Amino acid sequence: NAGVTQTPKFRVLKTGQSMTLLCAQDMNHEYMYWYRQDPGMGLRLIHYSVGEGTTAKGEVPDGYNVSRLKKQNFLLGLESAAPSQTSVYFCASSPQSGGADTQYFGPGTRLTVL
Amino acid sequence: AQKITQTQPGMFVQEKEAVTLDCTYDTSDPSYGLFWYKQPSSGEMIFLIYQGSYDQQNATEGRYSLNFQKARKSANLVISASQLGDSAMYFCAQAGYSTLTFGKGTMLLVSP
């Protein structure tokens, strides 16, 4: 059972380039989340999805877009990368809402924008 | 808006001793959950323990227990008999209706 996987694990971009981070889960979870982690800041929610075809903004959504075309996948897009988006990105999923259900995290993607 | 405060940037403890990591939260939601996650140097986020706001007893999971004081809005993590492998970053998080809000974390170092 793979759980939550993220692709790629590492990436270096130049300012202005675009990329898509892929998150996949095989636990049939309804909810999926994208976070970023910066030093001294903890994890901050970028976007989340409460089911296939739905997305919602989190705490820091600017500069990112997401799509949930299939229940098992949640894509995070950067249309025009900026150095401020250098961070570690985590995807997570939970069976239902985060209220009482544990979120299970992927291994993270380390992104550097030069 | 929910707010989680972890006031200890770093903590030191000797092996086999107990340690308490502090967490306070601020919410007006009548129902909520509190989580603790561990992040070792390898980077993955590991779920440790969960406490529901209506749970009558403090949650326990092996060497981890959650000291939940609802009136004080605190949810401290207690690790008993610390081990070298407990050295990691620890995050407290509060669950609202659909999302988690994380604190900034406490770095725990366990010495031999």
Per-residue pLDDT of A20-33, as tens digits, reads: 999 999 999 999 99
Task: Please give the residue of chain A at the shortest CA–CA distance from B103.
Answer: A42
**What does each of the 112 residues of chain B score in pLDDT, given as a tens digit?**
678 999 999 999 999 999 999 999 998 888 889 999 999 999 999 999 999 999 889 999 999 999 999 999 999 999 999 999 999 999 999 987 778 899 999 999 999 9
Q: Is the pLDDT of residue A9 over 70?
A: yes
CB contact under 8 A, B103 and A42: yes
pLDDT at A98: 57
Q: How confident is the model at residue A41 (pLDDT cuts 50, 70, 90)?
A: confident
Contacts with A6 from chain B: Cβ below 8 Å:
none
* Bridge partners for B94 per DSSP: B34, B101
Q: Is the peptide bond before A8 cis (omega within 30 degrees of 0)?
A: yes
Instruction: Give me the residue label for tokens 């050295």.
Output: B87
Preferred mutation among B4, B6, B100 to probe A, highest tally of A CBs within 10 A: B100
Chain centroid to CA A74: how far?
7
Among the partner-chain residues A35, A59, A99, the one whose CB lies closest to the CB of B97 is A99
Rounded alpha-carbon distances, angstroms, from residue B93 to A9, A43, A57, B4, B37: 25, 9, 18, 7, 8
CB contact under 8 A, A45 and B99: yes
pLDDT digits (tens, 9 = 90+) for A53-111: 999 999 999 999 999 999 999 999 999 999 999 999 999 999 876 566 789 999 999 99
Contacts of B80 (CB under 8 A, 6+ apart): B18, B63, B65
Q: Is the pLDDT of residue A1 over 70?
A: no
DSSP string, B35-102: EEEEE-TT---EEEEEEETT-SS--EETTEEEEEETTTTEEEEEE-S--GGG-EEEEEEEE-SS-EEE
CB contact under 8 A, B91 and A88: no
